[in-house]
């Protein structure tokens, strides 16, 4: 009788330890699966006081500076983000000594698509001296287009300011641009108005 109860106790202890082992391993596997998907969404590089220079055939086309840049490279669509703001200088081949610039409180760049996004007090100064202010701008570098659907305040070289309530689209060198739903103040004394023929 004593022998049987001792054997039963050993069997229960063995089964209990096996059950704990399987529970712990299955929990461990589930945690690995859960954390595996999240592990890729962290910056692979963090650059403080970043200065980036982009060249095309040895010629500088873009300079960017930011307090901090984070690069996310371990995901399907890698991107770079500047959460504390960024300034980008872009160089026009026609006027390389006088670059235009874009400043914003937040910027995001999709590496493979060459697509840029700027948000928060976006200010653009062209190499011709034109100034634009808006809340967001998108730049498709492959298509060489800049666009926004937010209100754009445009100040021309002569000091006149126009408000474009439904955004704009433009070539990335601002040689051509189109505004939507315009209003504003224009200095007529400086504007060229077509005179009727006598």
For 73-84, how does the pLDDT look when each residue is reduced to its tens digit (9 = 90+)? 888 888 999 999
Partner residues linked to 129 by β-bridges: none
| Angle, CA 17 vertex, CA 14 and CA 22 arms, to 5° | 125
CA proximity to 168, closest of 198, 106, 124: 124
In the predicted model, what is the mean pLDDT of residues 123-138? 89
Dihedral sign for Cα 145, 146, 147, 153, please: negative
pLDDT band at 48 (very low <50, low <70, confident <90, very high): very high
Q: Give this prediction's pTM.
A: 0.66
Contact between 162 and 186 under an 8 Å Cβ cutoff? The reply is yes
Helix (H) or strand (E) holding 28: helix 2-38
């Amino acid at each position: 009788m004593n022998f049987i109860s001792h054997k039963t106790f050993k069997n229960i202890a063995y089964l209990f330890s096996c059950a704990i082992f399987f529970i712990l391993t299955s929990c461990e596997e589930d945690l690995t699966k859960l954390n595996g998907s999240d592990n890729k969404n962290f910056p692979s590089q963090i650059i403080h006081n970043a200065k980036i220079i982009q060249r095309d055939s040895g010629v500088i086309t873009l300079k960017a500076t930011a307090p901090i840049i984070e690069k996310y490279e371990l995901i399907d669509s890698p991107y770079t983000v500047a959460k504390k703001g960024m300034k980008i200088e872009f160089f026009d081949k026609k006027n390389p000594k006088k670059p235009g610039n874009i400043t914003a409180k937040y910027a995001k760049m999709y590496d493979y698509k060459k697509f840029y996004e700027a948000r928060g007090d976006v200010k653009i100064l062209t190499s011709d001296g034109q100034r634009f202010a808006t809340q967001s701008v998108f730049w498709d570098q492959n298509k060489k287009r800049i666009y926004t659907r937010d209100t754009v305040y445009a100040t021309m070289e002569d000091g006149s300011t126009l408000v474009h309530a439904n955004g704009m689209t433009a070539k990335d060198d601002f040689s051509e641009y189109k505004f939507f739903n315009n209003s504003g103040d224009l200095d007529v004394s400086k504007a060229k108005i077509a005179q009727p023929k006598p």
